[in-house]
Structure 1
Amino acid sequence: MMYDKFSPNLVLSSYTPTYIPDLVFSSSTPTYIPDLCHRFPEKYETESLDCAFDQSQVLKEIFDHYTKEKPSVRIVSQLSPKDCVPSLAAKPINSMKKIIAYSKLIPSIVSVSAFYGVSRTIDCSGLIVEWDAIKKEAIILTSAKLLWSPIDDSRENHIIIRLADGTLLLGKEDYVDYYHNLLTLKVKSTTELNFVDLRSKEAVCEDLVDGMTVISLARMFPLCSLSDYAGELCLEYPYFGCQELLRSTCHVSAESEGGPLVNDSGYLVGMNFVDDYGFSHPLPIPIILASLDLWRSYRAVVRPWFGFSVVDVHQLPPHVWERFNVSPTDSYVVVKEVYEGSHAYERGVQPGDIVATCNGIAIHSAKQYSQLLFDRSCMVTSSGGSNMFCQSFKVVVQSADDCPTGEINVEAENLAVVDKRFCQCWPPLEKAEWASNKYGSQTNKKSDFDWRFGRFEKK
């Protein structure tokens, strides 16, 4: 993907994904950790570009350019018959009942972009989740990948939100969580903004069943247009990102990341993350709410970090689990990936090892393991770093290799969720590394990345 200076048009390479790769165990290789952008400037971040305040020259240029590109109310008269042909890459939403169901969410869906100088570097979508009528301030939930931007003190870095009517708002960082890749932004607006109460629109967990119809919603930055893609929910492990992600068959564009995934009744299932094959992977709303609640209560969130991800053995494809010489109905949890530099990496944990216990509790499912880590996160976060919860937190891993002891003990590190080591859980963006030129556009330094394993391969 390339962005030219001031270009309102994002050019995407077209492809049709043919498969989602199975998990294949392999020896761990170093994982790329992106350089994250400096904190965005405080001076302008709490105002609207549509307010006539004293803007920097960069913001003036961005504002002048995109106000000329505001969507026209006469856009329907400009359409030709070919504009109404459904995309072959996605299932079109042709049920009026479904469109009406999610129509209440549409005013709250926004486009969010990271700007490096006057150039857009990353496009995502977002959802307005709070509105303070007294402060004239809103909270927008989106993806933390917007912070994976080039670091250059000589250029201004901004996050800009674009509403459906073309209004441009400047975002200020609020909550950043690199483990779940969550980002909340504060924005000021002179007009009241529509918001979605996540709790009232949350889909009940019991209703999330394998094969249920889901719809991915997103907003494009150039023309503020809404896009929707239908698919089915898959209650299976993800092959990238944090282990709480689910899978769906919604074929989406990169700009859909950070947007909502809803069921056919219009209730929120989760927030979309997009893999390299163009499919949506939602992070469930209950996990998002729990993370935001911790942040609101303590203004800092800590997670125990062993340095590996896990998966239930029965979720593995047959050609993988049969190597364990166990039944797919057995309650085993195995290591999916080990991250370089972690305690698990240093202790020699390998993909395919079995997680036996966590703090003395026998592990029978990935969900149970995740819940234990979350409970520990709550305790450590609420303790504020006191000695009450400084005692060790360990897992015992049974090595799949011929280990003398047969077991490996790994002690957790307590890491704040703003620690960029958590970024190893996620594949880097296509343009994670940048080389700038005098015109303000960027080119990608290509790397050999194996998307099956979520890491770079050495050459």
Structure 2
Amino acid sequence: MKKWVWVLIAAMVVWNSVLTIQLSQFQTQLDEKTTETKIINKVVTDFTTDVTKVVEKSLDKVVGVSALYNGEVFSTGSGAIYDVEGSKAYIITNNHVIEDATSLTITFANGEQLDAKALGSDLYTDLALLEVDIDFTITPFSLGDSALIKVGENVLAIGSPLGLDFQGSVTMGIISGVDRIVPVDLNSDGFDDWDSLVLQTDAAINPGNSGGPLINMAGELIGITSMKIVYEEVEGMGFAIPINEIIPIIEQLRANGKVIRPVIGISAVGIDELSNYQKSFYGIQLDLNKGLYITSITFSGPAGIAGIKKGDIILTFDGIEITTFKQFRKLLYAKKVGDPVVIRYLRDEKETEVTVTLK
């Protein structure tokens, strides 16, 4: 009997030891999980704090833009405060937001609504500069450097999606791509007229966001949201004009009320746009698929003065082979009035090179 008692006591001791070890291990696991959870929560809290700080210092620099025609609002968008001089504020928005407006109203983050004047706009870059007289204090955005932007960088878009009822809406994403080229049809004729250089982002950009800022995590203005791809099979492809492209255009609008671009004095069509019948009609080799066929020329213009004639085919512009009229226009508009450019053209199967001074 005593033997069984001792066996039972020994068994209980062993069981208590096992139970103690298991409880100790379980407590250790709980402690580890608790510690892990605290670390994860701390990371999330820090991340959220960084974002909210950027938003807090940016919201007052974003405005709503209402375009009116004969007193009726027909378009709403967003804008970014670019500069403040005394009692005047200068606001960047998109050309397509204010196009055809007879009057403009700006709604500030503090609720103030003031009339604005369009100092100028530019169809090709889809930019416009507005001027507003203010009697309260506002601060413009600090400007970033879009040349330093990296793919994967976090960004914020702020604007008024679907109208002023949602003014100050913030969306977040990353830079999906830099130096993207997006063809644009400017006159709705079904043909692309211009190649826009843009930043690509997956931050949600909705109707009404147009003209609003794209901001980096330092709170700097790095772009102006302009467009998105809306195909059914596409998700999260929005585009913004880079700030380094914006500044020269805005400063011209501020100084001149328009963008002054050079002219060369020709009308032309891309060889790539011509059918074989049209090539035969113009006397162009059927196997020629690059260059510009000159359909008319201003004799007193830069090209005419340099000896270029109607019927010539421009092959290169400053050493760059010409493939389309759209590309030629982009190269031309990157120059300044007074710049010399070297044009190589084809006439009677003979190539000639001349220097043309742009006006």
TM-score interval (norm. to shorter): 0.5 to 0.7
Q: Partner residue of 2:164?
A: 222
Provide the rounded CA distance (Å) in 1 between the counterparts of 2:263 and 2:155.
32
Alignment of 1:74-113 (within 5 A): 95-113=48-66
What amino acid is the match of 1:292? I
Q: Distance in 2 between matches of 1:301 and 1:364?
A: 24
The match for 1:188 is: 133
Aligned-partner Cα distance in 2 for 1:142–1:370: 24
The whole-number CA distance in structure 1 between the counterparts of 2:67 and 2:243 is: 24
Once the two structures are superposed, residues 296-350 of structure 1 have per-residue CA deviations (whole angstroms, 9 ceiling, x without a partner) of 55555322579xxxxxxxxxxxxxxxxxxxxxxxxxxxxxxxxxxx9343x5443
- For residue 176 of structure 1, the aligned residue among 121, 143, 146 is 121
Q: Is the 8 A contact 2:152 2:174 kept in 1?
A: yes
The 5 Å alignment of 1:260-275 reads 260-275=213-228
Q: How many angstroms does 1:213 deviate by?
A: 2.5
Task: Report how far residue 251 of structure 1 moved.
Answer: 2.5
Cα RMSD after superposing both structures: 4.2
1:254 aligns with 2:195: no
Aligned partner (choices 292, 295, 301) of residue 250 of structure 2: 292
Determine which structure has more spread, i.e. the larger CA radius of gyration. 2
| Paired letter, 1:286 | N
Question: 1:343 and 1:349, CA in 2 relative to 1: closer, same or farther beyond 3 A?
Answer: farther
Structure 1 unaligned blocks of 5 or more: 1-93, 151-156, 307-341, 384-388, 398-403, 416-459
SS at match of 1:112: strand
SS of residue paired to 2:117 = strand
The equivalent of 2:273 in structure 1 is: 350
| Bigger fraction of residues in helix | 2
Equivalent pair of 1:121/1:149 in contact (CA under 8 Å): no
Q: Deviations over 1:152-192 (max 9, x none)?
A: xxxxx311111112211111111211111111111112222
Q: How many residues align?
A: 258
* Number of the residue aligned with 1:15: none
Change (3 A) 1:374 1:104: farther
| SS in structure 2 at match of 1:166 | coil
On the 8 A contact 2:195/2:330 being kept in 1, the answer is: no
In structure 2, C-alpha distance between the alignment counterparts of 1:96 and 1:365, rounded to whole Å = 50
Q: Could you tell me the percent identity over the aligned residues?
A: 19
TM-score, normalized by length of structure 2?
A: 0.59
Partner letter of residue 343 of structure 1? S
1:210 equivalent in alignment to 2:161: no
Change beyond 3 A, Cα 1:95–1:343: farther
Cα separation, 2, equivalents of 1:406 and 1:247: 43
Following superposition, the deviation at residue 146 of structure 1 comes to: 2.6
Match 2:84 to one of 131, 136, 145 = 131
Higher normalized contact order (CA 8 Å, seq sep 6+, divided by chain length): 1
Offset at 1:362? Answer: 3.3
2:213 & 2:245 partners in 1: Cα distance?
A: 14
2:182 match? 238
Residues 213 and 259 (structure 1 numbering): CA distance in 2 closer, same or farther, change over 3 Å? same
392 and 360 in structure 1: CA distance in 2 versus 1, 3 angstrom threshold: closer
Q: What residue identity is the alignment partner of 1:227?
A: S
Gaps of 5+ in 2: 1-46, 185-193, 231-235, 275-287, 292-313
1:162 match: 107
TM-score (norm 1): 0.47
Instruction: Return the alpha-carbon distance in structure 2 between the equivalents of residues 365 and 249 of structure 1.
Output: 32
Partner of 1:100, secondary structure, is helix
Letter in 2 for 1:106: L
Kindly indicate whether the alpha-carbon contact (under 8 Å) linking 1:111 and 1:124 is maintained by their aligned counterparts in 2. Answer: yes
CA deviations 1:185-205 (Å, max 9, x no partner) are 1111222222224xxx31351
Whether the 8 Å CA contact 1:230–1:250 is kept in 2: the answer is yes
Q: In 2, distance between residues paired with 1:115 and 1:299?
A: 20
Q: Give the Å deviation of 1:353.
A: 5.6
Tell me what 1:335 maps to.
none
1:250-399 residue pairs with structure 2 within 5 A?
A: 250-277=203-230, 279-296=237-254, 300-304=258-262, 343-345=267-269, 347-350=270-273, 358-362=316-320, 373=332, 375-376=334-335, 378=336, 380=337, 394=343
Query: Which residue is equivalent to 1:337?
Result: none
CA distance in 2, matches of 1:107, 1:364: 46
CA 1:358–1:274: 2 relative to 1, 3 Å: same
Helix, strand or coil: the match of 1:211? coil
Q: Which has the higher strand share?
A: 2
